[in-house]
Amino acid sequence: MIDSYGSEEQRQKYLPKLTSMEHFASYCLTEPGAGSDAAGLSTTAVKKGSHYVLNGSKAFISGGGSSDVYVIMARTGGPGPKGISCFIVEKGFKGLSFGKKEDKLGWNSQETRAVIMEDCEVPVENLVGAEGQGFSIAMKGLNGGRVNIGSCSLGAAQASLDAALEHVKVRKQFNQPLSNFQNTQFKLADMATSLLSSRLMIRQAAAMLDQDHPSVASFCAMAKLHATDECFQICDDSLQLHGGYGYLKDYKVNVYLRDSRVHRILEGTNEIMRLVASRSLLAE
């Protein structure tokens, strides 16, 4: 988002450390009272001389408290999407603080916290784009995020399929490996087919993102919807093929299941993905 919409000064200041992973950044859109209804956010930004003063809070922020840079959407104008602007806020800015570390079902390798702004002072040069452009920037940022989350699901599903294949070849019941049973064979075939279709959709969406295709939003939404739904099912099917072993923490398949469940919520719930896709269809 900084690369696409930021000034040359912003790009030179922030991108080298972000792209080298010396620094990390967090995307801050969701609020306690504004999740799927992102345009209803209430965090405010008021221009006072050489600074904007931000007040409000963001919820469920991945990397909250750990990241060095926060790209925050705040309201500089009236109600609705046209009143939202985008700001780069650095950890350490006056008035920026963080909530408690959330205790999550999965994704435990990354902290999730609230990001809180209490008279947080942000230099005017940290406005990304123009005032009122923030919602558009945020939505376009989500397109890439949806491809990213779908890709994470692909990884979990591939690892789950690999684990299932290994397990059914060595686990025996009724004096033969589980892989000899037709039900197992058909289940594995279904899992592989779902994984392939998900991978192809994610790759097509990624290509359209690179091309800035006019229909990129709907294709990213459909790819994320399909991949995260289907890949979670693959993880669940793998756990089932493991039987009782799949429910033990000694086996990695439980981690893939827990970590991929949230992908159907992150970067826009899959219900919102259906809304995005249907609006595109009805507009044709």
Q: Is 165 left (phi over 0), alpha (psi -120 to 50) or beta?
A: alpha
Which active-site residues does the annotation give? 267
Angstrom distance (rounded) from CA 121 to CA 159: 45
CA–CA distance, 138 with 133 (Å, rounded to integer): 9
Choose among 146, 145, 120: nearest CA to 273: 146
Q: From CA 192, how far away is CA 178, in angstroms rounded? A: 17
What are the angstrom distances between the C-alpha of 28 and each of 85, 101, 134, 162, 283? 12, 16, 11, 35, 29
- Sign of the CA dihedral running 113, 118, 123, 124: positive
